[in-house]
Amino acid sequence: MTAINIERGAPRYYFLGASLLMLALLYPVLEFEHMGIILWTSVFWLMLLAAVRATNHAPAIKTTTYCFGAVVIMLGIAGLICYLYLGDTHAWIFTSINFVTFIFLAFVTSSVIYNILSSSRIGIDHLIGAASAYVLIGITFAYSYIALHSITGATLLHNEIPLPQSNEDALASLVADYCYFSFTTLTTLGYGDLTPLTLATRVLSCAEAITGQLFLTILIARLVGLHVVRASQHASENAP
């Protein structure tokens, strides 16, 4: 029977959890368009670095992941500059950046989930990592909607109740809507104010809802299993 230990040593997921919390707290600034998108994306890049730091791979893969992350961040900075000075022209630039960012997010999120579910240790850092992985799933699917919007150029969501003074065509408003829709779908909350308009969006939203529920189910089963094994070991050690 595998030994189960309380995780000790340098925390791996604290920085990731803190950056995700900061990203959530800054979500309302997306209402302020240019300044809002600059602040939010800056913390988003910080979160990407924290997610890369939280992954656990062989040195070669780790180095490749860091390099890929650096490329994604540089592309994001270039895209933000283009957006501020060129507006929505050169749409292919934003499409490429959004697609690459989505691929990187999917890879990093999968890595964090694998690290969490394959760990044989239980601790506060492990639980923070599990919560961070769940939030990363929502962000990854949000970027899948953003990337799909960039590729097709079509409106993917019907906004039943637009926010006052919101500009539906502004980048900040689009990011805010897709993040909001992603997390209401992930948690199966589904207020109904934003609804998918295309078949691809419906498929993605169904996949997100299923993924979110499967992650929680598997995570709870894993934690319960580790607790049972640890309790059995403790009872065996104390048996006369």
Q: What per-residue confidence (pLDDT) applies to 81?
A: 80
User: Is the pLDDT assigned to residue 5 strictly greater than 50?
Assistant: no
Whole-number Å distance between alpha carbons of 137 and 213: 11
Task: Give the number of residues written for the chain.
Answer: 240
**What is the number of H-type helices and E-type strands within the chain?**
7, 4
User: Is the pLDDT assigned to residue 162 strictly greater than 90?
Assistant: no
Cβ atoms 181, 138 nearer than 8 A: no
User: Is the pLDDT assigned to residue 224 strictly greater than 90?
Assistant: no
User: Is the pLDDT assigned to residue 219 strictly greater than 50?
Assistant: yes
Whole-number Å distance between alpha carbons of 202 and 187: 16
Q: Which CATH architecture has domain 11-161+168-238?
A: Orthogonal Bundle (1.10)
Percent of the chain exceeding pLDDT 70 equals 84
User: Is the pLDDT assigned to residue 124 strictly greater than 60?
Assistant: yes
Q: What per-residue confidence (pLDDT) applies to 183?
A: 94
How many other C-beta atoms lie within 10 A of the C-beta of residue 230?
A: 19
The residue ranges of every structural domain in the chain are: 11-161+168-238
Higher pLDDT pick, 192 / 89: 192
Cβ atoms 37, 152 nearer than 8 A: no
Please, which pLDDT band fits residue 196 given cuts at 50, 70 and 90? very high
User: Is the pLDDT assigned to residue 137 strictly greater than 80?
Assistant: yes
Token duo for residue 7: 């995780």
Pick from 218, 56, 38: nearest CA to 130: 218
